[in-house]
Amino acid sequence: MEAQVIPFHSEYDVSTEQARKLLALQREILEKVALNVEYREILDALCKAAEQIVPNALASIMTYDEVGTSLTVLAAPSVPAEAIAQLNGLVPGERAGSCGTAVYHNEAQYVANTRNDLRWSDLQNFVDNFSIRACWSSPIKIEKNKAIGSFALSSFEERIPSAFYKQLLETCAHIVGILLLRQEKEQSLLRLVHYDPLTGLINRTLFKEKLGVAIESASIQKQQLAVLVLDLDGFKDVNDWQGYDIGDKVLQQVVKNIREILGHRHTFSRLASDEFVVLAGNSGEPLSVQLLIGTILALFKKKLTIEQHEFTLSTSIGVSLFPEDGTTASDLLRNADTAMHAAKKAGRACARFYNEGLTNSVKYKMDLITDMRSALARGDFVLYYQPQYCQKTNKLVGAEALVRWQHPEKGLIPPNDFIPIAEESGFIQELGLWVFAEACRQCKAWWDSGIPEFSLAVNLSVKQLDADNIEKFREILCALEFPIHHLELEVTESLIMHHESLAELHKLDALGIRIAMDDFGTGHSSLAQLKHLPISKLKIDRSFIKDLSEDENDRIIAKTIIAMGHSLGLIVIAEGVETVEQQAFLAQEGCDLIQGYLLSRPLTVEQFSDLFKVV
């Protein structure tokens, strides 16, 4: 850049003092370049230096956007954000102000009065909003003498630029061009050093740097990480049979396909010829990782077509987890590579964790998820209904719908064996929607048959609490003509206290659906928080009911919850009531409703119907 200092034997008549100012400006910028100051900071400094020389004026730099069709503001340290927002997207043309016109004609534009100049006729709102009375702009050029942007000085007063100001404008535009060219070359060099030229992916060096940063962050936040090494099975045959040109195109297509499913959440890198690595952007929890693996493996079941040639590839995947399998980038990469070779030995087109026991555990869970999906399609899930009774009248006033899995080979599987895995995998969305629809359908059928109406309680998972599901709930209720005032959704205390969940809970409340706080007492809610929540009922967690007869602390907690609920106008229900002593205590303290084995176990549809048969 030192060879680019602007000479002053130009067409402009510049005095010695003015030439000194221009040289000082260039020297200031050159010093920042020599000190390796970030280039945007240098551009801001250039704008401010120009503003010091031209009083009552603002400097700005605009360049083409990535598409190359419109201009955006690259630097304008003194220009209001609102003005920058209006300038962004300016399309060069004959009436695009001084900057857009300078780029369009590839020559400087000096507008002394923006109010009556044709070049500003389409930007009069901008003129009025920001009191711009004059604007001079010079095109920025990098190579082939083509304008790629503009350097401008805008004034709050009508004025004609002197020869010195024109020279200043040209000098600044020239400096910006040199800086942008330098930045472009640095970026090109950076890409050569850190990016794979064939696929555009980051290379091993940059990946290890990013992994190192992720490890530091995960260590502080006590999080897991997962590293997946992928090796294409049989790719050498593609090169041997079809040549390297076709092989390169196959690699590019594979990378494109994987990128589409990874999105921006995961870090993707090419390690070697046909070996890649992914740093999972979600948690390093094994089941989440296995779901990602399943998506990648499924991708390879589709044939690739390259220049009329069809290829069926597969990939072997090895996984290492932080911190279990290593605490450095090198350890995690090495152990993932070891696991990848184990996957190849196991028959290829599969995945292995570095920890063999984890591989078996995750396989069990994945098999269970597959089995659950099939079970839902076959109709193997069934609902049981546990009655809820009023303490004062001993009448049945509600029922909680509870899902069970009637497995054709293993028999009745309790919810604790499959609900947590359904939650982790996201399958709870499908299962939960079925539970909701089936419970509502069954209750409506009961009521239509003459059974007295009661309150239906359905459990709601955090994964179901989104706008799409709430709309599906509404559609189901409308289709069934379900009396919404009899519906109650039970959500856990920990879920209801998440601020992200509150908006959706308020939407449910607005539909007329009552919300009950389940497992109350196990979270951290306070009286002050409770009064702002859209809830109508508190359910005392069974852990406080179990030892009521022996544990004074549990009695105090249960008594406090009942009093707290009533003070807020909420109904209080206790679950897990199994003894007469527990019931007596709860009745004494004024607990409204109870539910538990003392009164009834969860019942099948037939058993629940029998409760209402006249003897």
| DSSP per-residue codes, 66-118 | SSSSSEEEEE-TTS-HHHHHHHTTBPPSTTSHHHHHHHHHTS-EEES-TTS-G
Q: Which pair of tokens denotes residue 327?
A: 């605490």
Residues 422 and 451 in one domain: yes
The mean pLDDT of the chain is 87
Same domain, 424 and 393: yes
- Are residues 348 and 298 part of one domain? yes
Does residue 224 share a domain with residue 182? no
Q: Is 332 helix (H, G, I), strand (E, B) or coil?
A: helix
What's the pTM value of the predicted model, to 2 decimals? 0.54
Instruction: Say if 105 falls within a structural domain.
Output: yes
Among the listed residues 460, 455, 365, the one whose alpha carbon sits nearest the alpha carbon of residue 403: 460
Are residues 165 and 237 part of one domain? Answer: no
How much is the CA Rg of the chain, to the nearest whole Å?
35
Mean pLDDT of 29-43: 86
Q: Which residue has the higher pLDDT, 443 or 505?
A: 443
Which residue matches tokens 């901008």?
126
- Residue 1's pLDDT is what? 40
CB neighbour list of residue 174: distance below 8 Å, 6 or more residues apart: 4, 6
Burial label for 71, CB within 10 Å (0-12, 13-18, 19+), is buried
pLDDT tens, position by position, 526-571 = 556 677 788 899 999 888 898 888 889 889 989 999 998 998 899 9
Q: For the residues 145-174, what does the mean pLDDT come to?
A: 92
Q: What is the pLDDT of residues 257-279, one digit of tens each?
A: 999 988 888 999 999 889 999 99
500 vs 431, residue with greater confidence: 431
pLDDT at 36 over 90: no
Domain assignment present for residue 92? The answer is: yes
End-to-end CA distance of the chain: 101
CATH number, residue 328: 3.30.70.270
Give Cα 147 to chain centroid, integer Å.
39
Q: Which residue has the tokens 């054709």?
A: 408
CATH of the domain at 544: 3.20.20.450
290 in Cβ contact with 364 (< 8 Å): no
* Same domain, residue pair 489 and 566: yes
Note down the domain range covering 482: 375-610
Q: What's the mean pLDDT in 285-302? A: 85
Cβ burial 399-414 (10 Å sphere, 16+ → b, else e): bbbbbbbebeeeeebe
Question: What are 361-386's pLDDT values in tens digits?
Answer: 777 777 888 899 999 999 999 999 99
The count of other CB atoms within 10 Å of the CB of residue 607 is 13
Of the residues 147, 171, 192, the one at which a domain ends: 192
Can you give the pLDDT at residue 275? 93
- Range with the lowest mean pLDDT among 35-39, 168-172, 200-204? 35-39
- Look at residue 182 and tell me whether its pLDDT is greater than 90: no
pLDDT of residue 368: 85
- Lowest-confidence segment of 151-155, 296-300, 478-482, 505-509 by average pLDDT: 505-509
CB 77, CB 58: distance < 8 Å: no
Counting the structural domains of the chain, the total is 3
Q: Does the residue 245 lie in any domain? A: yes
The answer to whether residue 28 scores a pLDDT higher than 70 is yes
Pair (445, 408) in one structural domain: yes
Q: Cα–Cα distance between 168 and 163 in angstroms, integer?
A: 9
Of 116, 125, 119, the C-alpha closest to 137 is 119
Query: What CA–CA distance (Å, rounded) separates 25 from 8?
Result: 14
CA 487 to CA 547: how far, in whole Å? 31
Report whether 93 contacts 101 (CB < 8 A). Answer: yes
Structure confidence at residue 9 (pLDDT)? 42
Residues 488 and 568 in one domain: yes
Tell me: do 469 and 537 sit in the same domain.
Answer: yes
3-state secondary structure at position 535: coil
Residues in CB range of 584: below 8 A, 6 or more apart: none
- Same domain (yes/no): 345, 426: no
In a domain, 367, yes or no: no
CATH number, position 39: 3.30.450.40
Q: Given this model, what pLDDT does residue 8 score? A: 41
DSSP state of 202: B
| Lowest-confidence pick of 309-318, 488-497, 554-563 | 488-497
Is residue 129 included in any domain, yes or no?
yes
Does residue 359 have a pLDDT over 70?
no
Q: Check residue 463 and report its DSSP letter.
A: G
Task: Name the percent of the chain in helix, strand, coil, to the closest 5.
Answer: 50, 20, 30
Q: For a pLDDT cut of 70, what percent of the chain falls above it?
A: 93
SS3 590: coil
Q: Strand, coil or helix: what is 8?
A: coil
Task: Identify the pLDDT of residue 5.
Answer: 41
Query: Cα(556)–Cα(578) distance, rounded to whole angstroms?
Result: 19
Q: Are residues 394 and 506 in the same domain?
A: yes
- From 109-123, 392-406, 497-511, the region with the lowest mean pLDDT: 497-511
Angstrom distance (rounded) from CA 98 to CA 61: 12
Q: What is the pLDDT confidence band of residue 283, given thresholds at 50, 70 and 90? A: low
Same domain, yes or no: 32 and 150 = yes
Residue 6 pLDDT greater than 50, yes or no = no
Q: Is residue 368 part of a domain?
A: no
Question: Among positive and negative, which fits the CA dihedral 602, 597, 398, 469?
Answer: negative
Q: Does any domain span residue 361? A: no
* pLDDT category of residue 49 using cuts at 50, 70 and 90: very high
Q: Give the residue from 167, 192, 217 where a domain finishes.
A: 192
Is residue 25 domain-resident?
yes
Among the candidates 127, 157, 192, a domain finishes at: 192
